[in-house]
Amino acid sequence: MQPKCICFFNSNKPWGGGEKWHYENALLARDKGYRVCVVANLESAFADRIEKEPGITLLRMDISSMSFLNPLPLLRLVRFFRRQAVKAVILCLPADMKAGGIAAKLAGVPDIIYRRGIAVPVRDRWLNRMLFRHVLTKLIANSANTRDCVLAENPRLIAPSRVHVINCGFDVEAFDALPTRELLQRRPGEILIGNAGRLTHQKGQKLLIDIAARLKKQPIPFRILIAGIGELEAELKDYAREQAVDDVVEFLGFVSDMKSFHQHLDIFALTSLWEGFCYVQVEAMVLRRPVVAWNVSSIPEVVTDGETGYLCTVSKVDDFADRLLALMQDEALRKRMGDKGRARVIEHFEMRKTFADLEKCLNS
């Protein structure tokens, strides 16, 4: 009997979280014995990686938000789906849902799935209603928060029984196997607090500078290490100088070796104002670092308040600073929360567990 064929359909050109998810799950599906094919754009970082992998059939083609109105690409996709005998297609972008979804429907693909990785409502328009009700068979959301946001403008967009929350997976074994190196020198007695992400409004580093100003009033030596680059870099550095914390807030720029970065830390401070699924907090938890974060979007689905770290009311910098201080003062508390954080990742977010959830979705 021929193995089931799964098609991972992702037309995004740059590399990001959605591409990481499709790439890793395509490899896991192949290794589990499924036949795997991929549809990607002509210019695609995802396709560039996939084409190096054996045992995966790749179709590159020009796909845009208007491709579903052009019969030529639709016909090409229909032929590809039929030739590969695709039984399930997993779509990434709204453009994929249109072109790939409609082509899969015309080709008779029995399972047409849209995976949503961004917590933004789907607009209540006739085309979306048609696609969700008459083309898609299932919706995958990367968090309960994403699911709720998708349905915010139309709770009846798709039947609840056809919605599956499947968290992003994290390969703990592979991360553990990575080497580490010394990135910086710890000063005598200091506590190292880390933050990582693009220097943008979303990531909330300006609030972290305000938090540093509060922490500077207490006697424990500390340093806040910020890994990342972005459009707010000059503004944030100026603000740190204005707040007189440029001696305890250090901008490291782009850091490629995130395991070594986390290995140096005592605490991870996640100041993002919203997230879809934040890999960087999971990395910290795998390395047994407690996380202090805002109680917002999907973050409470990863960080358990009072067990693996602390969740604070958004923008309440005094509350955030107090939680950091409690961890700075108590090494045993840091270890206890760090151990529970690693255990939580292994139980809920380990890659093979989340792939098993995907298999259940495919077989439901």
Do 203 and 311 fall within a single domain?
yes
Do 109 and 257 fall within a single domain?
no
d(CA 179, CA 164): 36
Give the pLDDT confidence score for residue 1 in this predicted structure.
Answer: 57
Do 334 and 269 fall within a single domain?
yes
Burial degree of 6 (CB within 10 A; 0-12, 13-18, 19+): buried
Do 10 and 101 fall within a single domain?
yes
Domain membership of residue 156 as a residue range: 5-169+350-363
Show the low-confidence residues of the chain (pLDDT under 50).
Answer: none
- CATH number of the structural domain spanning residue 71: 3.40.50.2000
**143 closest CA partner among 286, 282, 311:** 282
Give the pLDDT confidence score for residue 199 in this predicted structure.
Answer: 96
Q: What are phi and psi of 10, to 5 degrees?
A: -145, 110
| Two tokens, residue 145 | 């928060």
**In 184-330, which ranges are continuous DSSP H helix?**
205-215, 233-242, 258-264, 279-286, 317-328
Give the pLDDT confidence score for residue 277 in this predicted structure.
Answer: 81
Mean pLDDT of the chain: 95
Give the pLDDT confidence score for residue 2 in this predicted structure.
Answer: 62
List, in order, residues 6 or more apart from 308 with CB less than 8 Å away.
285, 290, 291, 337, 340, 341, 344
d(CA 227, CA 240): 15
Do 189 and 333 fall within a single domain?
yes
